[in-house]
Amino acid sequence: MNRPVLQTSSRVRNRTVASALLLLAAVGPIGMWTILFTSGIPSTQTSTEHAVTLTAYLFTESEHPWFFFLMTALPVIYMGLAAWHWFKRAEQRKIPSWVWILNALATTYAVFVLWPSAIASFSAAYYAHRSNSDA
């Protein structure tokens, strides 16, 4: 009789761990953007002017704009996946394939952008898989 209660709490715990790890993975790229925008501000510009100028340069004239597009997309993807695991996962018994594919793509992108985020994302996928196999 206690067995189903333990499995349910384990599923909730794995879902919570997966959400927390995805949010942790989002912190890396957000931190990189913060450092990028707040360091080296010229004395002739305000911080807002510097951010606008730097953003325009990074997305149009830099050598590798794809890197900055990925660094912008990763936190959005990670926060979306974390919200899905937190709110929608409890309603569904199995994780849909689009969640697995999105998590795999985000983890692969993170390897190129910020590898600690990739580690957290992979760990989140592991805990999500554990909760999926319990369902």
For 71-85, how does the pLDDT look when each residue is reduced to its tens digit (9 = 90+)? 899 999 999 999 888
The pLDDT tens digits for 100-121 are 888 888 888 888 777 777 888 8
Contact 95, 132 (CB under 8 A): yes
Q: Angle 125-131-132 (CA atoms, 0-180°, nearest 5)?
A: 85
The domain limits of the chain are: 3-134
Tell me the whole-structure pTM to 2 decimals: 0.74
Amino acid at 119: I
16: region left, alpha or beta (phi > 0 left; psi from -120 to 50 alpha): alpha
Please say whether the beta carbons of 111 and 25 come within 8 A: no
State the Cα–Cα distance between residues 98 and 96, nearest whole angstrom: 6
